[in-house]
Chains A and B, each alone.
Chain A
Amino acid sequence: MARGNVVFEIENCKGCELCIQACPQDSLELSPRINNQGYHYAVLVRDNCTGCVNCALVCPDAVITVYRESKKKEKVPVARISGVRQDITVSIGPGDD
Chain B
Amino acid sequence: MEPTSTAHPAPDMEVVYKRPDTLLDTRMHYCPGCGHGVVHRVLMEVVQELDIQQETIGVAPVGCSVFAYNYLDIDMQEAAHGRASAVATAIKRIHPSKYVFSYQGDGDLAAIGTAETIHTCNRGENILFLFINNGIYGMTGGQMAPTTLLGMKSTTSPTGRTVETSGYPLKIADLVAMLPGVVYVSRHSVHTPNAVRQLKKAMIRSFQYQKEGRGTCFLEVVSNCPSNWKMTPVESNAWLEEHMFPLYPPGEIKAPK
Contacts and interface: CB of A to CB of B under 8 A. Distances in A.
Establish whether A and B are touching in the complex (CB under 8 Å).
yes
B37 A62 contact: yes
A60 B194 contact: no
Interface residues of A, number: 56
A78 B208 CA distance: 14
Contacts of A67: 9, 13-16
B32 A39 contact: yes
Interface in A1-55: 3-12, 14-18, 20-22, 31, 37, 39, 41, 43-44, 51, 53-54
B159 interface: no
A44 B7 contact: yes
A18 B15 CA distance: 21
B51 interface: yes
* Interface of A, helix, strand, loop or mixed by DSSP: mixed
Interface in B25-42: 25, 27-28, 30-38, 41
Contacts, number: 154
Interface residues of B, number: 56
Given A65-B17, A66-B18, A81-B50, A5 B7 contact: yes
Interface of B: 2-10, 12-20, 23, 25, 27-28, 30-38, 41, 49-52, 55, 97, 190-194, 196-197, 201, 204-205, 207-208, 211, 226, 232-234, 237
Interface of A: 3-12, 14-18, 20-22, 31, 37, 39, 41, 43-44, 51, 53-54, 56-70, 78-79, 81-86, 88, 90, 92, 95-97
